[in-house]
Amino acid sequence: MQLLIAADLGYGAAPVLRDVTLDVESGQRVALLGRSGAGKSTLLAAIRQALLDRGLRVALVPQDHALVPQLSALHNVLMGRLDDHGALYNLATLIRPRRTDRAAALKVLARVGLTPEAERPVEALSGGQKQRVALARALYRGGDVLVADEPLSAVDPVQAQALAGLIGTTFPTSILALHDVSVALTFATRLIGLDGGRIALDMPAQDAKTAAIEALYAR
């Protein structure tokens, strides 16, 4: 999939990323690396749009979660599939979810370890729990591609590896911004590093050189 061709990305006159060309094959698990401010979120936004333009079903985990704090974790997960149904169906779900929908959403919550929190409003959850709700919403949504911006930043390393595995089995293709290089190395099939407003590194994960990755984070 040729997603971007010589694109300048960013806001206004001074783009964050210049001359970006990106081709992602179906089945790839891509990890985006780079210092904060390197342009990972900008690139992810452009990738998501390009995927949507191709008519693909995309699940998103934004960095700021974009959850509805007043609704329960279960309802936030159920939000993942609102566009599959009409207004009446969704209204009924809001008032009282159908048994099958509820069971499916609870199953996803169980896989991210949030069964006890399912009925609690999201605003009452901790930062790490909120992040897992946001991930569960994307998992429940499912689709061709997952686009996720730091989806594992607030969970502990062991859990991060498990959740990364879950992402790998749920989505055929996934593109994740990750700050934890060790998670990136075990999860991804391809690494893309951003530095200096361009793609500075792009290689299969098994060929990754530690020095090259460290260079991304060096000042």
Cβ at position 46, least distance to other proteins in Å: 15
| Cross-sheet strand order for the sheet of 173-177 | 58-61, 145-149, 173-177, 29-33, 190-195, 198-204
Q: Which segments of the chain are extended strands (E)?
A: 2-9, 17-23, 29-33, 58-61, 145-149, 173-177, 190-195, 198-204
- Tell me how far, at minimum, the Cβ of 99 lies from other proteins, in Å: 20
CB of 76 to other proteins, least distance (A): 8
Return the bridge partners of 191, or none. Answer: 31, 203
Please, which residue, 79 or 160, has the CB nearer to other proteins? Answer: 79
Q: 69 vs 116, which CB is nearer to other proteins?
A: 69
Q: Is 10 helix (H, G, I), strand (E, B) or coil?
A: coil
* Closer by beta carbon to other proteins, 79 or else 152: 79
Q: How far is the CB of 178 from other proteins (least distance, A)?
A: 20
Contact residues toward other proteins (CB under 8 A) are 52, 60, 62, 64, 66-71, 75, 79, 82-83, 85-87, 90-91, 94
* Amino acid in the structure at residue 53: D
The residue among 75 and 132 lying less far from other proteins, judged by its C-beta, is 75
Instruction: Decide whether 82 or 203 has the Cβ nearer to other proteins.
Output: 82
How many whole angstroms separate alpha carbon 162 and alpha carbon 156?
A: 10
d(CA 77, CA 31): 24
Beta strand 2-9 pairing with 17-23: antiparallel
Closest separation in Å from C-beta 73 to other proteins:
13
